[in-house]
Amino acid sequence: MAMPHGSNETSYLLPPNSEDWGGHGIPDFVYGQKELVPEGIQWPRSGPSLLERLPLSRFDSALCLAWRQRMELGLFRYCLGELQTQTLPGAVGFVAQLNVERGVQRRSPQNIRSVRQAFDPEQFNFNQIRPGEVLFRLHREPDLPSALQQDDILVVINVSPLEWGHVLLVPEPARGLPQRLLPGALQAGVEAVLLSSHPGFRVGFNSLGGLASVNHLHLHGYYLAHRLPVEGAPSEPLDPGGRLHLLQALPAPGFLFYTSGTGPDLEALISRVCRATDYLTDHEIAHNLFVTRGAPPGKTSSSSALTGVRVILWARKSSFGIKEGEAFNVALCELAGHLPVKTSQDFSSLTEAAALAVIRDCLLPPAQAGEVQAALVALIAKEEQ
């Protein structure tokens, strides 16, 4: 991604001397309604290379400058270079990337046995990270209206990055919240997507059992300069009001929530999504969630214009720990069509059919998937009562 020159966002940079990092304090990134842009951000027609020439938003500038500095300072587990990338031949349009270092050097997952597992302060958590790993604190302007409880969100580097700008959005670490999605955290994630002028900045969430490796509430955010299948995949409505849709297209069927507005429309979507994830968590059903700019529900296509925000939710089989021997692990980005592959051999031999087989193995059996769908439709119907 292109970096701004002469930017005045220097307050997000660490002092040159590492001994001063502890006293540096966490800078605030304060944003208002005008910076949330639901429409008008599109992929360049001439290909991803033109993304380098697009102007960055204030959010992108702050994140990318601070993230790059931390990379130069050696705060990551490995130096992320340009990743070898290919679009797999076939109808889906999987974007596969070779990321050997992440497969080898990422932190081992915690011992998770339940989607509802309590926070354990004795396990690794985000109260233990180094001061330099925090980029800034996301903070909404006090006069930005919201009916949701607002938490300040720390934007923290992921020390084992998937891609450029890979960060974690962590609500008030001292509260010791388990990995269960809350409205304030999701709102911050969706608004981060709206704050970015890059069409490929996405946010996601992995539940416990859905390959979350740390049981401390966090979302992922990262840049990927490629379209993904879920941005424009067609869908069918599941309720008369059009508030819940079903994505039936590959790579995996999922529940689609959509909004092209901010304010009350956005808050209604967030409330709806969190009721759905609460149901899944309470019933011990693992899940993954992906937030991206995308096309409205209905008969769309992969080339449709990005007119709002899509939030896609997948209920899936629980998987505790990392599956060895697979080309990739199935979590939020893989279900969306982005496949970080662990080895050169798998990267060179991976086919669309093989990728779909790995993903299908993680999906709920049809009967259980039908039960979940009926339950979520019933939850949405209660809004009308």
d(CA 241, CA 384): 9
Q: Residue 73 is which amino acid?
A: L
Q: Which residues, other chains included, contact 340 with Cβ-Cβ below 8 Å and sequence gap of 6+?
A: 97, 99, 102, 103, 162, 328, 333, 334
Q: Where are the beta strands (DSSP E) in 172-297?
A: 201-206, 219-223, 235-237, 245-247, 254-259, 286-294
Q: Are 257 and 239 in contact (CB under 8 A)?
A: no
- 178 in helix, strand or coil? coil
How many residues are there in the chain? 385
Active site residue 338: no
SS3 314: strand
- The number of beta carbons lying within 10 Å of the beta carbon of residue 305 is 17
Catalytic residue among 198, 218, 220, 245: 218
Residues 6+ apart with CB under 8 A from 240: none
* Residue carrying structure tokens 């609460």: 278
Burial (CB < 10 A; 0-12, 13-18, 19+), residue 37, is middle
Q: Which residues are catalytic?
A: 218
